[in-house]
Structure 1
Amino acid sequence: MEMAMIKRLAAGAAVLALVAGLSGCIVVSSSGGQKTVVTNTASAQSSSYADLYAEAVADPKRPAEEVARDPLRHPADILAFAQVAPGDKIADIRPGAGYFSRLFSDVAGPTGRIYAFVPNRTAERENPTADALAAAYPNITRVNGLLDSMTYAEPLDLIFMSQEYHDFHIPSFNTDVAKMNAAVFAALKPGGRYVVIDHQAAPGTGISVVGTLHRIEGDYLRREVEAAGFVFEGESKVVANPADDHSLNVFDAAIRGRTDQFVYRFRKPG
């Protein structure tokens, strides 16, 4: 435990030096055939946390079934892209079994806080799992609320959604997604990150297959989030799968776990 704290402090010192002396990395993304190039000083810090990310992935407390999914989910790459850092205050929206919440907890450390946000609509089913996470990790707290008016006890550094955003367009969720994105914007600190992973739908389909295939077109999602005031910073291709033709339901055994997914990072200006 003491060694982990020393590493976090050392990594933090390294980041301060990097931010003071470097102009940062270039994030290149593409949409609609046009490239977006963003100079991003903060991305310099994620490389200095590589050891912390590796330690989080190697944490023996992680369930074996989650570890078995690592080759497909690329957790260290996702932590780096999300720029998770010691002390971060993070909301994990619908954390499920806690795959990412556990990783966030380890990296954020004792000065950080992870809010496992469970929507009121699914609370009866999902609260017990979130409570178990909070019992096992002292820096995890369960929060319930409405997606389109979510609030937290403090301003956040990161709000994270993995394979959930598309569901909130399904009518039975009774969620105003524009208001949800506005609530995310309000909950973040100036400069805070909004990271979304989801299953890619075919070009031009928008949200038309969210209820049938559980997919959403990435470009459509990006436009919605940008409409809330966010700046699109880039995307990661670590969970992309060009062999997926976007025609199958994500739960179909022929593609489950291997869908073509996009990972987008947005930032609240400031």
Structure 2
Amino acid sequence: MNRLARAALVLTGLALPVLPLAAQHAGHAMKKGADPIAAAVSAPTRTPKNVVRDTYRHPKETLAFFGVKPTQTVVEYSPSGGWYSEILAPLLRDKGTFYALQPAGSYVDGYKKFLATQPAAYDKVKLVIYPDATATIPAGSVDTVLTFRNVHNMVMGGKEADTFNAFFTMLKPGGTLGVVDHRLPESRDTALEKSSGYLKVSTIRRIAQAAGFEYVGASEVNANAKDRADYPKGVWTLPPVLAEKDVGKDKYLAIGESDRMTLKFRKPVK
């Protein structure tokens, strides 16, 4: 091998690592500029059965609409089994604060078990029992309160005024209340709100405004035009509950999860 050939071989060998190194730097740049909500939605700690339901719940778009950021103090009211907590916990772990405001009762132990499934990811979640320990969340300290498919339970139990007042107290002036719930058409009998699991948009707006909130706007990201909101066992007829079991199962699976309103409110800045 002559000198020129050896030089060419050496240069070729030295050049080979350059492309992977450049690609590596590009990868780091992409990570730095990545959408933190998208990263949290893609967290490897999420359970596969929950990920499948993203097609109905649109967590990335929903949280973006509510303006959630990794530096915020966020309260999730009634996280139940932890579907949204799987996303919020890693999103807020390093730079923010995440309170799980769980109503006293059967879900508390289940949520504790959920936290124990991924202790390294959920170690900074602050579990607070509602209403017993709500005052441990300092008044005026929270950037965003989120509640997903829970207001219908408040209405059926007659607890909506007290709960929304608690949200108002804990939020900072200018703070956001984000609500997702099953939508009842405005033309339907309001009495259905006490039994069907569906609520009218006007009802939630009235509850929020009575507590002092300003209405900011709505998103149709969680809408489902296939949902008639008129079933033998209310919203629980649809997946994931499928209250009728095998009766009409294929039909209800084809409809999918309920038609949902996604509403944004703000605590006024005085």
TM-score, length basis structure 2? 0.74
> 5 Å matches for 1:106-117?
106-117=90-101
Q: Is the Cα contact below 8 Å between 1:150 and 1:180 reproduced in 2? A: no
Structure 2 CA distance for partners of 1:102 and 1:127, relative to 1, 3 Å: closer
Q: Please say which of residues 78-87 and 129-138 is displaced more in the overlay.
A: 129-138
| Bigger proportion of residues as helix | 2
Q: Is the Cα contact below 8 Å between 2:82 and 2:111 reproduced in 1? A: no
SS at match of 1:247: coil
Shift of 1:130: 5.3
- Which of 196, 199, 209 is 1:216 aligned to? 199
Q: Is the Cα contact below 8 Å between 1:134 and 1:140 reproduced in 2? A: no
Give yes or no for the alignment of 1:227 onto 2:227: no
Give yes or no for the alignment of 1:84 onto 2:83: no
- The alignment of Structure 1 onto Structure 2 pairs a total of residues equal to 225
Give yes or no for the alignment of 1:144 onto 2:140: no
Looking at structure 2, the residues matched to 259 and 60 of structure 1 have their Cα atoms a distance apart, in angstroms, of: 27
Looking at structure 2, the residues matched to 183 and 122 of structure 1 have their Cα atoms a distance apart, in angstroms, of: 21
- Which of 149, 167, 187 is 1:163 aligned to? 149
Give yes or no for the alignment of 1:153 onto 2:99: no
Structure 2 CA distance for partners of 1:123 and 1:55, relative to 1, 3 Å: closer
Shift of 1:209: 2.4
1:209-248 deviation line (CA, Å, top 9, x unaligned):
2443211111111111011111111111011012222112
Matched residue, 1:103: 87
Matched residue, 2:159: 176
SS at match of 1:196: strand
Shift of 1:99: 1.8
Shift of 1:73: 1.0
1:78-110 deviation line (CA, Å, top 9, x unaligned):
110111112211111111221212212222241
Shift of 1:131: 4.1
Shift of 1:72: 1.2
Matched residue, 1:32: none
1:139 maps to amino acid: K
1:92-151 deviation line (CA, Å, top 9, x unaligned):
11112212122122222412111111111445554434543783412211110228x933
1:32-80 deviation line (CA, Å, top 9, x unaligned):
xxxxxxxxxxxxxxxxxx6112111111111111111111111110110
* Structure 2 gaps, min length 5: 1-27, 243-251
User: How many percent identity over aligned positions?
Assistant: 27
> 5 Å matches for 1:15-94?
51-94=35-78
| Bigger proportion of residues as strand | 1
Matched residue, 1:31: none
Structure 2 CA distance for partners of 1:140 and 1:125, relative to 1, 3 Å: closer
Structure 2 CA distance for partners of 1:51 and 1:120, relative to 1, 3 Å: same
Structure 2 CA distance for partners of 1:207 and 1:137, relative to 1, 3 Å: farther
Structure 2 CA distance for partners of 1:7 and 1:167, relative to 1, 3 Å: farther
Looking at structure 2, the residues matched to 197 and 206 of structure 1 have their Cα atoms a distance apart, in angstroms, of: 21
> 5 Å matches for 1:181-260?
181-205=164-188, 208-248=191-231, 249-252=234-237, 253=242, 254=252, 257-260=256-259
Q: Is the Cα contact below 8 Å between 2:182 and 2:198 reproduced in 1? A: yes
Shift of 1:6: 9.1
Matched residue, 2:267: 268
Structure 2 CA distance for partners of 1:130 and 1:159, relative to 1, 3 Å: farther
